[in-house]
């Protein structure tokens, strides 16, 4: 029933507190970009920059992902991040924090490595790419238990993603957005590439054995989503 979809989304977001927290932080820091001239306020203080800026101000390696270049980029990136996070975090709760932190650092390093003269980089798309890659691995593990037929779609999705990224790296043009403007403030396919690679690494790492019995359901398998009291603040 259509009415069940909002409830299902709400339950998934309630089961994804880290995703919601990062999303709210990104929204708060990026809101000035919708105001004329607002991009020089908070976003400019936190964006990732080339040269020696990241060395002198190392927080930019993490905060550059939370700020955005425009309202349109904010809406698109935030929607993708929340959607993928709500699918991903409940399936790998013990490693989800490592996924976010590892992909943020990998994306920043990759962008600075391939585009050292980049004026500025902003956006959650690199981390969203890590979420996508990790989700593909989780889906493949799940389909391995149900049969190999279901593995085709996740693999095709990941293949098309890497083909698109390779095209953009080779041509310097976004497949859907035209010129990437890498000499100034713009998108970087390197962010998507390094984000996806980080997501694959984290999702494929061997699971550590745990002596506690907090959960009998292993990571990567669908589990019931807990109901959280609506009186919870934040």
**pTM confidence score:** 0.79
Residue 224 located in a structural domain:
no
| Cα 232 to Cα 14, 17, 28, 40, 123, distances in angstroms | 10, 11, 20, 35, 29
The domain that holds 52 is classified in CATH as: 1.20.1540.10
Name the domain count of the chain.
1
Residues 6+ apart with CB under 8 A from 95: 202, 203, 205, 219
Residue 219 located in a structural domain:
no
Which H or E element spans position 174?
strand 173-174
Residue 230 located in a structural domain:
no
Residue 233 located in a structural domain:
no
Please tell me what DSSP assigns to residue 179: E
| pLDDT score recorded for residue 105 | 96
Q: Is 82 helix (H, G, I), strand (E, B) or coil?
A: helix
Q: Among residues 234, 4, 207, which one has the least CA distance to residue 91?
A: 207
Residue 226 located in a structural domain:
no
Which residues, given as ranges, of the chain have pLDDT below 50?
A: 1, 178-184, 210-217, 221-234
Residue 220 located in a structural domain:
no
Residue 228 located in a structural domain:
no
Residue 26 located in a structural domain:
yes
Measure the CA–CA gap between 127 and 103, rounded to whole angstroms: 6
| pLDDT score recorded for residue 208 | 65
Boundaries of domain holding 169? 4-204
């Amino acid at each position: 029933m259509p009415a069940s979809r909002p409830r299902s989304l709400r339950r998934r977001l309630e089961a994804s507190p880290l995703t919601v927290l990062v999303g709210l932080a990104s929204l708060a820091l990026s809101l000035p970009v919708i105001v004329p001239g607002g991009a020089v306020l908070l976003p400019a203080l936190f964006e990732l920059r080339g040269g020696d800026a990241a060395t002198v101000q190392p927080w930019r390696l993490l905060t550059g992902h939370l700020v955005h270049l425009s309202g349109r980029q904010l809406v698109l990136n935030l929607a993708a991040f929340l959607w993928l996070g709500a699918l991903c975090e409940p399936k790998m709760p013990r490693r989800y924090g490592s996924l976010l932190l590892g992909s943020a650092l990998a994306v920043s390093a990759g962008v600075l490595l391939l585009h050292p003269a980049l004026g500025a980089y902003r956006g959650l798309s690199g981390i969203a790419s890590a979420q996508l890659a990790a989700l593909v691995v989780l889906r493949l593990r799940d389909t391995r238990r149900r049969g190999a037929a279901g593995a085709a779609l996740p693999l095709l999705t990941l293949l098309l993603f890497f083909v698109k990224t390779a095209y953009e790296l080779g041509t310097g043009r976004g497949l859907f957005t035209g010129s990437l403007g890498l000499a100034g403030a713009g998108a970087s396919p390197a962010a998507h590439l390094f984000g996806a690679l980080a997501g694959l690494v984290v999702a494929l790492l061997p699971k550590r054995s745990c002596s506690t019995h907090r959960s009998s359901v292993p990571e990567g398998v669908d589990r019931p989503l807990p109901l959280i009291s609506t009186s919870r603040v934040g």
